[in-house]
Amino acid sequence: MRKWILAAVIGLLALAAAGSWGYSQYTANRKLENYLSNKYQRAFYDLASQTQSVEVLLSKSMIASDPRLDSALLMDIRQQAAFAQSNLGQLPLNDALAGRTAKFLSQVGDYADSLARQINQGEAIDTKHWDTLNSLYQQAAALNSELQGMQAGMAQNNFYFGEMVRQVRGKLQKNPDDLATTDFQSMDKQMQRYPALIYDGPYSEHLERTEPRDLSGQGDVDAPEAEQRALAFIDKQDGADYQARVTGTTNGRIPAHRVEVTRVGGPDGAATVLDVSRQGGKVIWMMNSRPVGGQTVSIEEARRKALQFLAGRGFGEMRSTYFQQHGNSVTFNCAALQNGVTLYPDLVKVTVALDSGEVTGTETSGYLMSHRQRPLPEAAVSRERARAAINPRLNVSGGELVLIPVGVSDEKLAYEFHGKLGEDSYLIYINAVTGREENVLKLIETPGGTLTM
């Protein structure tokens, strides 16, 4: 009898404990769900109001006639578009649902930025620009009206983002067809109706399709030839035999054969992998993933090895401009030289293992994309005059001629000066043709190397 009562009491207590635990879990869950839903709503409302700002600003930029006002409006567009994209990125929408919308927001901001820069350099908004602004304005208006419609739906339905929140909780439907996702999908389809936008900015459409200049006009190589090229490229140890094998093709920005090179009798899994371009048969990158032992080679020695390696593989005259150490490996950035001018766009990265000095990696896509014999302009401004254009507060040294990338497809001949202000170091680029200050980079010392920002 007693035992039965005791068991019942314990059972009841356990039930009560489980119940209260369950209830607290339930409320905690509800709280989190609300929290997440609120976060999504905030991001959405911000996205809608920023898109509206973009629309209004675009229409203003089309009628403003003072360049200063225009440039201020364009900078505002850029900022609002960036905010809008950031808020879009906080919503749980994958690329299939919002990719085109995100792209539009990137391009509006990017285009506004590139146009503002042109205006600041004294160019007027011509018909072509006006038409582009007009087209962007139409797109922004369409996007805005979609978002307003969704906002109305949201006001009527508090659980608009409910399904998205539940998705996150793991009760995932394969193809959720709740309100928000359906609406976003149709909005994204709307955005796809507009034509591709081409302009001078990093997110412009045409950059996806740029051709590697170093390979232009060259014929294709087949798999056996790619194997030969790979064998000729790798850093061979004395007296060892190597075997190369094409393992597949890659269909990236530069289509290529993928080649694996192994040392005969070497340890398993220590292959060097290379991508050899189909056109021209050049190595795009090489990676040897062997573990690297303790350091026995100095950075200076490694630098000599890297430059020697490049010289032996037809890269011509190169200069090491920067390095970064990671673990017991060091990666050098090497830029091509033409008549003593450093060509920063034509960059090759070379990784050297500090245990043996072996070159374990290269990355040449920058070089392949932009290298060619260029007609370099004459420096019309003397080094002294260029130097005088620098802020007098800086303690200045250097002044070598370099070619720097400006914007996305432009290159400028410039003097490179080192400047020091107190503890801080900078690189200052003065255009050698116009005498204008093109760029200022800040140098930041880290244990692994010097960063530029």
Q: Which of 184, 199, 315, 344 binds other proteins (CB under 8 A)?
A: 344
**Out of 383, 387, 420, 436, the residue judged to bind other proteins by CB under 8 A:** 420
Site for other proteins in 121-140 (CB under 8 A): none
Q: Does residue number 289 form part of the binding site for other proteins (CB under 8 A)?
A: yes
DSSP 313-336: TT--SEEEEEEEEETTEEEEEEEE
Task: Using CB under 8 A, count the residues that bind other proteins.
Answer: 77
Q: Are 350 and 332 in contact (CB under 8 A)?
A: yes
Nearest distance from C-beta of residue 262 to other proteins, angstroms: 14
Footprint of other proteins on 12-71 (CB under 8 A) = none
Among positions 144-183, residues that touch other proteins (CB under 8 A) are 167-168, 174
d(CA 76, CA 70): 10
Site for other proteins in 319-338 (CB under 8 A): 319-322, 324, 326-327, 329, 331, 333
Is residue 409 within 8 Å of residue 426, measured between CB atoms?
A: no
Q: Which of 47, 56, 58, 93 binds other proteins (CB under 8 A)?
A: 93
The structure tokens listed for 164 are 């998205």
Minimal distance in Å, beta carbon 132 to other proteins?
Answer: 15
- Candidates 49, 59, 79, 106; binder of other proteins (CB under 8 A) is 106
Quote the CA–CA distance of 216 and 203 in Å, as a whole number: 24
State how far the Cα of 349 lies from the Cα of 305, in Å rounded to an integer.
13
95 binds other proteins (CB under 8 A): yes
What secondary structure letter does DSSP report for 265?
Answer: T
Report if residue 293 touches other proteins, rule: CB under 8 A: no
Q: Which residues of 134-152 are buried (b: 16+ CB within 10 A; e: fewer)?
A: eebbebbbbbbebbeebbe
**Range in contact with other proteins (rule: CB under 8 A) among 154-162, 216-224, 282-290, 381-389:** 282-290
Residue 94 bridge partners (DSSP)? none
Helix (H, G, I), strand (E, B) or coil at 452: strand
How far is residue 286 CA from its own chain's centroid? 21
Using the rule CB under 8 A, give the single segment among 25-33, 64-72, 216-224, 253-261 that binds other proteins: 253-261
Compute CA distances 14 → 9, 17, 22, 66, whole Å: 9, 5, 12, 77
For other proteins, which stretch binds (CB under 8 A), given 7-15, 72-80, 369-377, 438-446?
A: 438-446
260-279: contacts with other proteins (CB under 8 A) = 273, 275
Give the range of 22-30, 216-224, 236-244, 249-257 binding other proteins by CB under 8 A.
249-257
Residues 366-405 that bind other proteins (CB under 8 A): 366, 395, 398, 402, 404-405
Which lies closer to other proteins via its Cβ, residue 227 or residue 275?
275
Nearest approach, Cβ of residue 12 and other proteins (Å): 36
H-type alpha helices, 318-430: 365-370, 383-388
Q: Smallest distance, Å, CB 411 to other proteins?
A: 12
Smallest distance from the beta carbon of 15 to other proteins, in angstroms? 32
Q: Does 317 bind other proteins (CB under 8 A)?
A: no
CB atoms within 10 A of CB 43: 18
Distance between CA 243 and CA 41 in Å, rounded?
Answer: 59
